Amino acid sequence: MTGAPPHAPAGPLTVPLPPASGAWREGDPPGERRWVSLLAPLRLEAGGELPGVRLAYETWGRLAPDASNAVLVLHALTGDSHVSGPAGPGHPTPGWWDPLVGPGLALDTDRWFVVAPNVLGGCQGSTGPSSVRADGVRWGGAFPFLTPRDQVAAEVALADALGIDRWALVVGGSMGGMRALEWAVGHPQRVASLLVLACPAASDAEQVAWSHVQLRAIRDDERWRGGHYHDAPVGEGPHRGLGTARRLAHVTYRTGAELGSRFGRAPQSGEDPWRGGRYAVESYLDHHADKLAHRFDAGSYVTLTEAMSSHDVGRGRGGTAAALRRVTARCLVAGVDSDRLYPLARQRELAAGLPHSDALRVLASPYGHDGFLLETEQVGLLVRELVGGV
């Protein structure tokens, strides 16, 4: 370096301490959530069963008398059931796909009955590590290993409870895409149309490696306590490890070009990277880490990340090619051209294995993996291509 940045050192950061877990808890405002409880224990792919399963979900629109207009929307890793609507009591963030769901939008709620569950193992109302077991103790680190098939099995029970035998459309991106694909392969008779976004047929070694580093960061946090931290005082959760995991994950969600154009090598305003301060891009990652600690649960992050690493639609089905031949739904598979977490080549492979020609679509975006969340106009066109609409 030839000279120090011209800014003075920054003072100490002052941010509110997060709770031990950002999970929704009994007694919190329900917001727009509803719940379904499974009548029988859920048998798990890895062995054993999970008793007392409950799924939180939200809906928009009205179910037709013949239940023919139901659409299932499946969220990604740190998403939840709040696909559309403002932030408010019970909902720490606004809807993550607001531009897609509502009257006159791609998922027109004057036409479609849209259902979005919080995934099994999550932390916004569904059974997960932060949940209380029948014996009155939180699951914590004793929560069992889940796969996407287990999560879909719970969602099948939700569909049954709502009287939905067949979805007009199942749509999901990233982790949600894994479950959408499992729906179409494992329950082909129940899926009329399928939209898979930014998701492979199976997680590969590099994706598992990224996940392993994140899991290691959380488990190496001294406040992890083997996953049994949920009732610790404010500020005493494994936030350091969760924050490191989130920072790393967020880098994989975006692109070097986008980060460079937004931040370059600029210091954070009022801080000097040469004297203990941060670059603007570091402040950006810190901000996302802090936000997550206030609204998410480290145990759910571990459970869901492990489930994503286990994703392999061909496991136990004679391999990927044989599994994909089970699909009967009308399909579109869309990749983001700048995605470095699940590169476009993986969606190309997935689309080629489906028993339908011309299934691949490309989302043009500078945002990388997060393009499936941000390029809502392009995603909306794909929804309309599958299910019609203006």
How many Cβ atoms from other residues are within 10 Å of residue 41's Cβ? 12
Domains of the chain, residue spans: 34-203+312-387
272 is catalytic: no
Predicted TM-score (pTM) of this structure:
0.95
Which is the catalytic residue, given 108, 312, 339, 370? 339
| Marked catalytic residue, from 174, 211, 300, 310 | 174
pLDDT digits (tens, 9 = 90+) for 272-307: 999 999 999 999 999 999 999 999 999 999 999 999
Q: Which whole number is the average pLDDT over 316-336?
A: 97
The beta-strand segments (E) located in the chain are 34-37, 42-43, 49-50, 54-60, 70-74, 113-117, 169-173, 193-197, 330-336, 360-363
Q: 34-203+312-387 has which CATH code? A: 3.40.50.1820
Q: Are 359 and 81 in contact (CB under 8 A)?
A: no
Q: Is the pLDDT of residue 3 over 70?
A: no
Q: What is the mean pLDDT of residues 226-251?
A: 97
Answer yes or no: 221 catalytic.
Answer: no
pLDDT band for position 14 (cuts 50, 70, 90)? low
Which of 187, 239, 250, 369 is catalytic? The answer is 369
pLDDT at 59 over 60: yes
88-108: average pLDDT: 96
Q: How far is CA 204 from the centre of its chain?
A: 18
The residues near 210 (Cβ < 8 Å, ≥ 6 apart) are 248, 249, 252, 341
Whether the predicted pLDDT of 6 surpasses 90: no
Q: What confidence category does residue 75 fall into, taking pLDDT thresholds of 50, 70 and 90?
A: very high
The Cβ of residue 247 has, within 10 Å, a number of other Cβ atoms equal to 18
Whether residue 2 has pLDDT greater than 70 = no
Q: Residue 356 — pLDDT band, cuts 50, 70, 90? A: confident
The model's pLDDT over 262-272, given as tens digits with 9 standing for 90+, comes to 999 999 999 99
pLDDT at res. 7:
35
Amino acid identity of 357? S
**Active-site residue flag, 174:** yes
pLDDT over 90 percentage in the chain: 93
